Structure 1
């Protein structure tokens, strides 16, 4: 065990995700359990640079388990990308006597944490908090399950209108570089087609899929489009399809940041709690420059560099299932 760690800092950075508060709570309470002082850093790396740091106690994180967003707030820091910014951040940690960091976020957060670790040797463990589920070294990231539930709930409501008016809906979900939300929402909502960044579906292929649905007398037709799809966003794809079906009532709905908000699901609360504890225990046990993740229900530690750079791909089996069920 690393007996040199007395004080641990925790921050959230990048896009918020449901369950981040549960992860912060777990870090604080695990830290106190192991007789460490824990300090909350507001507004991510910007707060670290500007010394927005305060000590957190057990009661400081009461009644936040069920809250969406992050009570520490988040920001994307341009200053932290500069050597001068990172130097100032390090000096603030030194001034406060903070020995280690837990950073909760996605690939941008981990890129900054890894650079900080390499330059200054600051002990750091990352906790994967992003709705995109695109980090290697963990089966699921915090917020992904809630985002999928939110998307499916919205799509279910849209289907009521689609069925009532015999309309074709194109629904855009988040996923600039990864199609995990789209595929899960496609299966969970019974979409006729799912378009993701990792796979290209031509307009002709989509038209064929839709014609098959019309022929099979589908009661409603919903196409899920990840925002970073190779064929464009939902509006662009809908415009291409409209040229082939000029008399069909085509509508577009962009779910947007709706998917980031709301109370975390029970799955995300449990995942965040386990990973927050794992981050503290990882630091105490000498891990650093690592991400705490869950694979096959077991805690694992993966180098931050690997978590960022090893591309996590959509499960081909899930995509195959989505295609089978779309008929």
Structure 2
């Protein structure tokens, strides 16, 4: 009990001295316009910092809620899936897919090993961003990034029991949210052939510089449409998830039915990359998921 009263006495004395100092400062401020201005600036700065802190906290809370909703929604429609022709609904579209600005050279192209996959990002002026529209998209989706999935026996998606060795997944976003979904992912499938894929060499020949995780390299500018050859029809769509190892997003998948070639040497260059634990990324394909009651459509 004695210790309690001693502590209370000390706190009371400290509070009295604090009040005295504050009162003395305010008296001086009344006599000095300069001191008044300094005190006003300090109080204004404290108020602004308080508002900024509140804003940051509010934004963090809203982002957490958004991420939770996204993960919850994604949990019910995971990717990849095996596409069976007998379970596909054919639908003829009035409008073909339209690709814009894919032939424009970007200001910069950056390749990164994030420890899970290879990510390609482009930096372009806002008025010449690669984008896609048409079909049933309902809006324009601009290019965000491309990531790659590969494996010894398969990459990710498969079609009618045919598996593929490499998959390039191009993530797009509709910023106005006028589309059916905020995100769209276009999948390009590759199988091993005796010949090198020329456009893919822009990627594979630079992988040796980003063997370590979190390493990056800037690529010489190249036409994106050579790597991602536009198509207007002949593709599958379904709702699933995009996962590059850092983010998991609900997305509409557009999977082209045209199969590209990749040489065994180029595939080995992808498999030479390292994870965060320094092991080789021999495969980064996700497990196959059931289609469930999701509708897979084919647009000829």
Q: TM over 0.5, yes or no?
A: no
Instruction: Say which one has the larger Rg.
Output: 2
Structure with more of its chain in strand, by fraction:
2
TM-score by length of 2: 0.25
TM-score by length of 1: 0.23
Structure with more of its chain in helix, by fraction:
1
